[in-house]
Structure 1
Amino acid sequence: MAENSHNHGHTLAAWTGVTIAFIGFCVSAVFTVAAKPVGFWAGLVVVVLGGVVGMVMRGMGLGATPKTQKAGH
């Protein structure tokens, strides 16, 4: 069987970052409908926080490690 070299982001860092960002999008959506700009911007801050948390967790070794490319691939 061929070796699976792609994990498609199935790491703790990826799941955590995406979950936090998704919550931020939901918060922004609710406050958009409610016409509350402060809540909308707060939700976008949470989205950015999700990206930061994901990168920090990856730096801590909880994410995928970059693979070196083979010649010809």
Structure 2
Amino acid sequence: MSKTTVSASKAPETAASHSDVIGHGNSPAAWTCVIIMLVGALVSSVAFVIANTPVFIAGAVLMVVGLIAGWGMRKAGYGVGGSKLKNAGH
């Protein structure tokens, strides 16, 4: 086994560098989708613990609403690279 180390300057390059946009979902559509779905998951989790089926179902429906809201916002131009955003980079 070799005891040589790889320095940062000699490390192999990957397909995408840090400056490339690889779509991490950093957009208003993605944030809205995730926040609504997290609230739905919280409601469903609490309802599961207290054994309340209607509230559990309401939380599950809220998670589906989050998906639909994120999809709709992406189609409206608020997704990554959307027409309503000024993507100036970091």
Pick the structure with greater CA Rg.
2
Query: Which runs of no fewer than 5 residues in structure 1 stay unpaired?
Result: 66-73
Give the AA of the match of 1:46: L
Q: How does 1:48-67 map to 2 (within 5 A)?
A: 48-65=64-81
2:27 equivalent among 7, 11, 14: 11
State the number of aligned residues. Answer: 65
Normalising by structure 2, report the TM-score.
Answer: 0.67
Q: How large is the RMSD of aligned CA atoms in angstroms? A: 1.6
Give the AA of the match of 1:13: A
Deviations 1:6-54 (A, max 9, x none): 2300000000000000000000000001100000000000000000000
1:44 equivalent among 43, 60, 63: 60
Aligned residue for 2:4? Answer: none
Query: Which runs of no fewer than 5 residues in structure 2 stay unpaired?
Result: 1-16, 82-90
Percent identity between matched residues is 38
Normalising by structure 1, report the TM-score.
Answer: 0.82
